Structure 1
Amino acid sequence: MKAVLLFLLPAMIFCSVSLASQDTLPPQEKRIRDLRIVPLPAVASNPANGWMFGFAPSATWYMGDPEDTRISNFVGNFLYTTKKQWIFSFRSNIFLNQNKWILVGDWRYFITSQPTFGLGSTAPNIPAENPNQAGVWWGEQQMDFSLFRFYETVLKRIGDSKFYTGVGYHFDKHSKINNYTNEAGGTNLAFSHDAYNLAKGFSTDSYVLSGFTMNLIMENRDNPTSPYERNFALLSYKVNPTWLGSDQNSSTLLFDYRHYINLSERRKRHLIAFWGYGNFLVSGNLPYMNLPSLGWDMFGRTGRAYAQGRFRGESMVYTEAEYRFPLQQNKETFGGTVFVNAASFGSRTTNEQLFTQINPGYGVGLRVMINKRNRTTISADYGIGQKGNSGFYLNVNESF
């Protein structure tokens, strides 16, 4: 399936509004500084949702003196589709005064649909019977569902170092799940979602994953919104006990590492960026839609060239490299990028080992910096993958 996501910004007008510079207050009374809100009206279209209309606002600000406090940011999506779907999300990364604490939030409410293709990295586009699971669909199957997500993590800085440690609470509820396909003979085959959940003892209509995370972060980027140099690392161990509301006990391990190599002291926007990401089921079982999946990281940036959820499994490894460069000799307004990525998924259910199949993607992108001080950037990318998969993506700030 070719997945296309197209955002058309009316008249291509981007509005950056400063609401709270608070320059008249004494330093000790300033709480929020240099608040910049970017309201982006959006029109979007893709095969799963039809046409979508709404807003994709973002904001940046400081919770202390910019000299010793990193920039905070949030990105939101408030969309309604011609298929009567609602997509609401609010994701934030907040640095408190002098970077002593970090608050990370990921809140979502979806009444939506998207295709799923089965487990592992070898799942095809066109529906057929799974050779590794007799009587089960393999390939594109449509799913309607609702999702309520509440993730919030609190991290405390370790002394004056670049390391943080903390805990988080993560809650997901998938409900009103419905599977269907237009392929002939489909009534004789079970859907990948239903077959997996029944085999693992989960409901096929609704399930809850509720757990807490133990986290270690190294935050060394010069600007978390759109970095030019240094690096970032996250190690997160998640426990989902039944006494906290999960349908079954389970645990997962996630790592995320990003590195930025500056190629010019004079033009720091000229750089190479690397990203490594892994998500693994450690113990127990996860419901189908909570398994590691492409495009389901916090900001939905993994897998440019493929649809969200195109690949899924009990284990996931993803890597990406991106060359970023300015397009103007002496100005920073316009920039470009060339990227390549690769993903692999393993599945115990289909007996597919991690790295058996690698799914690459590549593409190009345009960047428009609308706030040079905070580096707030509009990014537009076109990615191409294997087997006819491709996509156009528009986001706020860099992909990683």
Structure 2
Amino acid sequence: MNKVIYALLFLLTPFLLRAQSGNSFGMYHPQDTVGKQDLVGLFKNTFNVTPNPLKAQPEKSVYFSFLPTSSAVPGGGRALITTTTAGFYMGERENTNISTVTFTPYFNFTGRFGIPLRSNVWLSDNKWFIQGDTRFLVYPQYTWGLGGNPAQDHKMMVEYKYIRVYQSLLKRITPYFYAGLGYNMDYHIQIEAEGHSDAAANLHQFSGYPFGTGSQNTLSSGVSLNLLYDTRNNSLNPLPGCYSNIVYRYNSPVLGGNTRWQSLYVDMRKYIPFTHDNQQNMLALWSYYWTTLDKGVPYLDLPSIGWDFYNRSGRGIQQNRYRGEALAYLEAEYRRDITRNGLVGFVLFANATSVSEANSRQFKYIHPAGGAGLRLKFNKGSNTNIAIDYALSRGNSGFIVGLGEAF
């Protein structure tokens, strides 16, 4: 048990890191891209594409990145995925972070598809921050029940439609610190376990969990209190700095939900450079703790690996593999350029996950995963990379392709 306690303390080490003075934690201004290379520029040079010069308007520039690929999706199988990101500035670059919008629709030929749209918008001078996450998903997806040690073959396929609407508005209180309110809705529709409409006789019996397993629809609707401290300049490819996000959520039938429940999500990240030249050579640390605060949380809304706010945690672990009333997570990634022009780079990463056991707050098991990846600079203007990762854990492995860094 002592080993578990020590390991969990290690999981939460980024929570204990204190801010330091210097450039590592001040706003990191965009680096000069002269001499840098990306795939967009490589394409123009190769095919002699010379567009007509336009009058420079940096405050209105929009940097698009587009990546079509076929990749594994949660629940097994593969799908056609297209990822489009747009990076743009809503104010002067010297005092305004780059805003991003990411659209990642996917589908296969068996009736499965998803339409997620995420946005992080910084208004002029970073006075306001607007965050959005809207999704419509059609899922068949495996679930392994509750707790940190379910057998790999102890799983059940659950089909459902899912609508998520998360919107928040935060105001700058002091430099880099923001506070605000949000609205969160999770709507799971037509929940069917193992192809049967009687979800209560299947999912309830399989999971042993009484909430959200006895009906075909669950609706959680609530308000959130959001606290944010962010010294990064670019969320697509963070430069040296740190990030802290605390979200308290209160759900109530008054807002249209089925049940009343509360949760807390604490996300901490730190980016440590080893050099201060124009080369990528950095250690990135990420940890989050996600917990329910009372009973009544629907089964599909419980903390689960891969269901963090950006669906980026647990590379190498199947989404939903571990679910509980509380979840602790830690990941470390080393990022390094291979070529001096920034076109090609690599990463090495490792992560660990632990969830609470059923009907208790005890953490008994820790599940590691890790891997390596290649980075290709797609657009140097927004510092967007094509990320090609190979990740593995006990009983699972595979490639992950996408735009932007995992965190």
Alignment TM-score, normalising by the size of structure 1: 0.83
**Offset at residue 371 of structure 1 (A):** 1.5
Q: Structure 1 pair 152/46, CA: closer, same or farther in 2 (3 Å)?
A: closer
Q: Which amino acid aligns with 1:372?
A: K
Q: Structure 1 pair 337/280, CA: closer, same or farther in 2 (3 Å)?
A: same
Partner of 1:100: 127
For 1:364 and 1:86, locate their aligned partners in 2 and report how far apart those are by CA, in whole Å: 28
Contact kept? 1:197, 1:288, Cα under 8 Å: no
Pairwise mapping of residues 74-223 of structure 1 onto structure 2 (< 5 A)? Answer: 74-126=101-153, 139-159=154-174, 161-180=175-194, 191-193=202-204, 199-200=210-211, 203-223=214-234
Q: 1:250 aligns with which of 240, 256, 261?
A: 261
**Offset at residue 275 of structure 1 (A):** 0.4
For 2:345 and 2:303, locate their aligned partners in 1 and report how far apart those are by CA, in whole Å: 32
Q: Which amino acid aligns with 2:131?
A: V
**Cα distance per residue 1:240-274 (max 9 Å; x no partner):** 01111121110001100000110011244101010
Partner of 2:344: 334
For 1:95 and 1:22, locate their aligned partners in 2 and report how far apart those are by CA, in whole Å: 25
For 2:259 and 2:124, locate their aligned partners in 1 and report how far apart those are by CA, in whole Å: 39
Q: Structure 1 pair 122/192, CA: closer, same or farther in 2 (3 Å)?
A: farther
RMSD (CA atoms): 2.7
Contact kept? 1:197, 1:203, Cα under 8 Å: no
Q: 1:224 aligns with which of 229, 235, 238?
A: 235
Partner of 1:262: 273
**Offset at residue 23 of structure 1 (A):** 4.0
Q: Structure 1 pair 119/22, CA: closer, same or farther in 2 (3 Å)?
A: farther
Partner of 2:397: 390
Q: 1:271 aligns with which of 279, 282, 300?
A: 282
Contact kept? 1:155, 1:166, Cα under 8 Å: yes
Q: Which has the higher strand share?
A: 1
Q: Which amino acid aligns with 1:114?
A: Q
Q: 1:35 aligns with which of 46, 62, 66?
A: 62
Partner of 2:86: 59
Contact kept? 1:322, 1:339, Cα under 8 Å: yes
Q: Structure 1 pair 123/397, CA: closer, same or farther in 2 (3 Å)?
A: same
Contact kept? 1:304, 1:391, Cα under 8 Å: no
Q: Structure 1 pair 338/190, CA: closer, same or farther in 2 (3 Å)?
A: farther
Partner of 1:320: 331
**Cα distance per residue 1:193-232 (max 9 Å; x no partner):** 5655872376431110001110110011142221121100
Unpaired segments ≥5 residues, structure 1 = 1-12, 127-138
**Cα distance per residue 1:139-177 (max 9 Å; x no partner):** 221111100111001010014x11000011001100111
Contact kept? 2:212, 2:218, Cα under 8 Å: no
Q: Which amino acid aligns with 1:384?
A: L
Q: Which amino acid aligns with 1:143?
A: V
Partner of 1:367: 375
Q: Which amino acid aligns with 1:157?
A: R
Alignment TM-score, normalising by the size of structure 2: 0.82
**Offset at residue 373 of structure 1 (A):** 2.7
Partner of 1:281: 292
Unpaired segments ≥5 residues, structure 2 = 1-38, 45-50
SS of alignment partner, residue 283 of structure 1: coil
Q: Which amino acid aligns with 2:337?
A: P
Q: 1:353 aligns with which of 347, 362, 365?
A: 362
For 1:198 and 1:376, locate their aligned partners in 2 and report how far apart those are by CA, in whole Å: 42
For 2:124 and 2:289, locate their aligned partners in 1 and report how far apart those are by CA, in whole Å: 31
Q: Which amino acid aligns with 1:39?
A: F
For 2:208 and 2:188, locate their aligned partners in 1 and report how far apart those are by CA, in whole Å: 13
SS of alignment partner, residue 272 of structure 1: strand
Q: Which amino acid aligns with 2:382?
A: N
For 1:253 and 1:362, locate their aligned partners in 2 and report how far apart those are by CA, in whole Å: 27
**Offset at residue 309 of structure 1 (A):** 1.1
Q: Which amino acid aligns with 1:299?
A: Y
Q: Structure 1 pair 264/33, CA: closer, same or farther in 2 (3 Å)?
A: same
Contact kept? 2:391, 2:399, Cα under 8 Å: yes
**Cα distance per residue 1:182-202 (max 9 Å; x no partner):** 9xxxx9x96445655872376
**Cα distance per residue 1:15-68 (max 9 Å; x no partner):** 999x9x98477xxxx9x6210122322333458364423522111111111111
Q: Structure 1 pair 323/193, CA: closer, same or farther in 2 (3 Å)?
A: farther
Q: Structure 1 pair 216/342, CA: closer, same or farther in 2 (3 Å)?
A: same
Q: Structure 1 pair 54/390, CA: closer, same or farther in 2 (3 Å)?
A: closer
**Offset at residue 310 of structure 1 (A):** 1.1
SS of alignment partner, residue 224 of structure 1: coil
**Cα distance per residue 1:89-110 (max 9 Å; x no partner):** 0011110111011111110001
Partner of 1:10: none
Q: Which amino acid aligns with 2:398?
A: G
